[in-house]
Amino acid sequence: MICTVNNVKELIEHLYTEFVENPDAQAVLPELIEHAQAYKGLDKEEFRNVINETIAKINQCKHVEEVKHIKKIYKGIDDDDPEALKIQIQLRDKIKNKRQKSEMN
């Protein structure tokens, strides 16, 4: 299935109308439109590669944020708590797994 846009101006107007009550979304529309121009003329395979690379970058950022969150929890654990060692080991293992997944992407 091939999706094409015959009238870019109409699409842009529709996007702004669709997100009229969402200023955050409207704020990123110009940047998205600008980036879309960079992909104009790519063949199917090149476009697929761009999409896959973008997904990989998003996943990597997601893993980095998850590791930061887990480290914050890890540092906040009270060492006097009898369950603390058990929780710290579990969190350490999660950090290690997230770091390995991030490096693989």
Q: pLDDT by residue (tens digit) across 17-52?
A: 888 888 888 888 888 777 777 777 778 888 888 888
| 28 and 56, same domain (yes or no) | no
* Sign (positive or negative) of CA dihedral 51, 53, 57, 62: positive
Q: What pTM value is reported for the model?
A: 0.44
Residue 47 lies in a domain: no
Cα–Cα distance for residue pair 38/6, rounded to 1 Å: 17
Please give the tally of structural domains in the chain: 2
pLDDT of residue 89: 79
Burial class of residue 9 in the structure, from the number of CB atoms within 10 Å of its CB (0-12 exposed, 13-18 middle, 19+ buried): exposed
pLDDT of residue 40: 75
| 56 and 105, same domain (yes or no) | yes
Residue 89 lies in a domain: yes
Does residue 1 surpass a pLDDT of 50?
A: no
| 57 and 101, same domain (yes or no) | yes
Say what angle helices 23-38 and 8-18 make with each other, to 10 degrees.
Answer: 160
Residue 82 lies in a domain: yes
Range of the domain at 93: 52-105
